[in-house]
Amino acid sequence: MGVADCGVQKSLHGKYASVGFYASQVIICSEQEKGRLMKRLVMIRFGGLSLMALSIAAVGMGGKAKALTAPPEIKIDGGPLGQLELSGGMSGYFDFASGTADSSATPGSFSGISPANANLDSLLVELQKTTGVLQYTIEVGPYNGTPALGGPPAKATTNFFRTGPLYFGYITIAPPDSPVTISAGQLSSLEGYEAGPSWLNANLYTSELWYVQNSNSVGVSANYTHGPVSVTVTYGDGWDTRVFNFLQALGTYSFSSNNALSLYYAGNLGRTGADASTYNQSSVGFGNNYVNSQMYGAFYSFTAGNLNLVPEVQYVYAKVDHQAGVDKFTSNFGALVLGDYTFGSSPYSLGGMAEYFTSNGPSTWFIAPHAEAVGFELSPTWQYKNIFFRASATYLHMLNGSYAGDGTTGAYGGDGHGKDSAELGLEAGLLL
């Protein structure tokens, strides 16, 4: 979430911790997670037997490429509660960044941030029941510590959502032999390909497209799956505002086990005023354009042997609505390609991302008003059973946008005029 000053970015972006940004491509995926159509092979089920379970399972089941492989869930005999499954994960990272400045009083995007930081990405434990008519998912722990490409490091917290440490919490009604399931509670958003916790991605740092998307929120969701087609629609508060006027939709068509196209939409059907609160219990007034926006996007997952590629495009805008605090039209366009390659049966893989984004209007979507930039990331990864280590190197170059607000393109360094940002993340994690 953006806005012209660093403090605004830090407080508003709920999906995004401190300055709020996030992790990249989802190859290992959970059904209720944001990275929806990733490898069901890996069986990481954060978010449970989601609303999109069947469609996700259909996408990529025949593929071999995967970023990380999760261990099987721990089976628990819940007695009258039925068969339960326990899973989880945690990771932390060191972040080394250029373009920082010692004083928080300077106008740069990285002002007051040390060039070297150590942060917890997330630590989540999930308990779920995935059989029977009545199913449920509960996932708890600190979250929101994943950094974004070109953004300051984030810090995990248990206060990101109004529900405190509850990351997911919902029930699902799954009638036998029915193509329709209904879920209600704290659900994941349906927007985009990338996920929240970094271990669900092939890269540590997320994209600008992920940054402008809504995160988990409270609502009701229905999923319909028949053959290669899956459609999920969610109605809820959006942006954790408790103003129930936000609609999301995701449709996926699986051409084969290795190829699938997904289209998604998210938009405010009414108006959410500046006096409402959003993630981290911060004021919506910091980002009226996000909360009152309309978003359209699409991504395509292609897997061939050990290679997975995912191109994605996204367009989001907010129309003039003076009562909502949006005084001028503003929009953002982003495009990216995510990739992951596994080196045979070895423990090594290589993730990557290339992105481009541009925004119009006076509002900040990412970094600065009118920001335009290109970014790149490479993430060699090593995994042995439940443990993984990853190094992610990023570079972002600004083509337009003035963080300092003086008309000079740039956002980094003490004067906010630096056009380039380079970061190195060293991550270690454990999958349960």
Residue 9's pLDDT is what? 31
Residue 286's pLDDT is what? 66
Residue 25's pLDDT is what? 28
Q: Indicate whether 431 pLDDT > 80.
A: yes
pLDDT, the chain, mean: 84
Q: Is residue 162 part of a domain?
A: yes
Residue 421's pLDDT is what? 94
Residue 265's pLDDT is what? 98
Report residue 114's pLDDT band, with 50, 70 and 90 as the boundaries. confident
Count the domains in the chain: 1
pLDDT (tens digit, 9 = 90+) per residue, 260-318? 999 999 999 999 998 899 988 788 866 899 999 999 999 999 999 999 999 999 999 99
Strands 100-101 and 116-129: unpaired
pLDDT (tens digit, 9 = 90+) per residue, 146-175? 999 998 888 899 999 999 999 999 999 999
Q: Indicate whether 105 pLDDT > 70.
A: no
pLDDT, greater one: 58 or 257: 257
Report residue 14's pLDDT band, with 50, 70 and 90 as the boundaries. very low
Residue 51's pLDDT is what? 32
Average pLDDT over residues 239-247: 96
Report residue 6's pLDDT band, with 50, 70 and 90 as the boundaries. very low
pLDDT (tens digit, 9 = 90+) per residue, 196-235? 899 999 999 999 999 999 999 999 999 999 999 999 999 9
Average pLDDT over residues 244-256: 97
Residue 106's pLDDT is what? 60
Residue 65's pLDDT is what? 53
Percent of the chain with pLDDT over 70: 82
Percent of the chain with pLDDT over 90: 68
Residue 104's pLDDT is what? 61
Q: CATH number, domain at 264?
A: 2.40.160.10
Q: Is residue 364 part of a domain?
A: yes
Residue 218's pLDDT is what? 96
pLDDT (tens digit, 9 = 90+) per residue, 343-376? 998 999 999 999 999 999 999 999 999 999 999 9
Task: Look up the domain containing 242 and give its range.
Answer: 6-431
pLDDT, greater one: 325 or 265: 265
Are the C-beta atoms of residues 91 and 199 closer than 8 Å to each other?
A: yes
Residue 414's pLDDT is what? 81
Average pLDDT over residues 19-34: 30
Give just the sign of the alpha carbon dihedral 358, 355, 420, 366.
positive
Q: Is residue 1 part of a domain?
A: no
This prediction's pTM: 0.85
Q: Is residue 318 part of a domain?
A: yes
